[in-house]
Amino acid sequence: MSGRNQRPIIIWLLTGAVLVATMVMVGGITRLTHSGLSMVDWHLIMGVVPPMSGQEWSDAFEKYKQFPEYQQLNTHYTLSEFKSIFYWEYIHRLLGRLIGMAFVIPFLVFLIQKRFDRRLLFRTLLLFALGAFQGFLGWFMVKSGLVDRPSVSHFRLAAHLLTAFLICIYIAWLVLDIKKPCPAKLVPPNYPKAVRILLVLVVVQIIYGAFVAGLKAGFFYPTFPMMQSQWFPEQIKVDFQRLGAYAFVNSITTVQFIHRWLGTIIFFFVVAMKLGYRRSLVASDQRNLNLLLSVVTLQVILGIGTLVMHVPIGMAVVHQVMALILLIVVIINLHPWRQVPWRQS
């Protein structure tokens, strides 16, 4: 990194991460209030101002009526009810534009001030590429619900959510690189490898969380730990006979089963890490591991609560945002060991 003061760049990056996390939260509310398909037009620059006059609202409502969500689910909607779902999607898209400005304007200022060295400039441009790709995925996801069925593809939803998370952890990694060069330290046996395995588990869990959301699987089997008084529901066998391997990603029962038990595995994996490395880590790494255990415990509690309380919007949104926080905390635990090769970890 450049020897010049990097504090403004750190503030800029962290502000962007907070805005992206806020967009994840608003996106969760948009999904849970069934608002995501209310804006049937996609304008990258135009459309910043919502409908203002009665005629503009009527025109927007008439456009909405031409698409599957209204025709198959919401034929009873009044103009007032349409407005209530329109505004959440409008806020979601407006926040996307705000994030773009929050990244681009300071970037140009820093570029003029020559605050970037070549490596940081390249990594920042990669961040912009991720942001552009995230915008494309948003359009691609919404488009899937405007053709034949009044719901978006859960695969596209997972890609959209995972890219938002990737942007946040990429920012976290950049900030940690700027603030904390990797110090020389004694490597506890297998600890970096354990954190890397945990990262893979958490990413897979987030993907399945998106599948649960996209398939609305959280509204089924509202009991824990058993599902309809069964540890292994018979419906899983039925779905595998019907779908084959596709049941892993298309069966409501299978997807929820994997999500709940993978979450349990992650919790006990972190507990095992804490017990196994309680004496071999330096104080700073021990604090990071304690934070990880606290966050994963809270996330498990939120997940179970969201399920048994029939997916209340507030708790479900916090559960989604907490998944992002958990992923960032895993990155914080991994970063000090980034230069340790896998075979030596």
Per-residue model confidence (pLDDT) at position 6: 85
Taking all residues of the chain, what is their mean pLDDT, rounded to a whole number? Answer: 89
The C-alpha angle with vertex 30 and arms to 211 and 159, in degrees rounded to 5, equals 35
For the chain, counts of helices (H) and of strands (E): 12, 0
> Would you state the pLDDT for residue 42?
67
DSSP characters over 117-161: -HHHHHHHHHHHHHHHHHHHHHHHHHHTTSSSSSS--HHHHHHHH
Distance CA(74)–CA(65), nearest Å, equals 9
pLDDT at 46 over 60: no
d(CA 145, CA 150): 5
CA 73 to chain CA centroid, Å, is: 27
Neighbours of 129 (CB within 10 A): 10
Taking residue 77's Cβ as centre, other Cβ atoms within 10 Å add up to 18
Alpha-carbon gap, residue 196 to 175, rounded angstroms: 19
Specify whether the CB–CB gap between 47 and 41 falls below 8 A. Answer: yes
Q: Is 67 helix (H, G, I), strand (E, B) or coil?
A: coil
Find the helix or strand (DSSP H, E) in which 195 lies: helix 191-215
Nearest CA-CA partner of 84 in 26, 130, 30: 30
**Is residue 70 scored above 90 in pLDDT?**
no
Centre a 10 Å sphere on the Cβ of residue 169 and count the other Cβ atoms it contains. Answer: 19
Write out the two tokens for 132: 């552009």
Beta-bridge partner residues of 227 = 230
Write out the two tokens for 11.
Answer: 């503030």
The per-residue DSSP string of 247-306 comes to HHHH-HHHHHHHHHHHHHHHHHHHHHHHHHTTTTS-HHHHHHHHHHHHHHHHHHHHHHHH
Q: Using only the alpha carbons of the chain, give its radius of gyration.
A: 22
CA 43, CA 27: separation in Å to the nearest integer?
Answer: 18
Contact indicator for 45, 97 with CB cutoff of 8 Å: no
pLDDT tens by residue, 83-116: 888 888 888 888 888 999 999 999 999 999 989 8
Of the ranges 41-45, 73-77, 140-144, the best mean pLDDT one: 73-77
Is the model's pLDDT at 192 over the cut of 80?
A: yes
Give 2's pLDDT tier (boundaries 50, 70, 90).
Answer: very low
Q: What is the pLDDT of residues 9-39, one digit of tens each?
A: 999 999 999 999 999 999 889 888 888 778 7
The answer on pLDDT for 245 being more than 90 is yes
Q: Report the C-alpha gap between 288 and 330 in whole angstroms.
A: 9
What is the predicted pLDDT for the residue at 302?
96
Report the pLDDT value the prediction gives residue 228, as an integer from 0 to 100.
85
**From CA 62, how far away is CA 46, in angstroms rounded?**
19
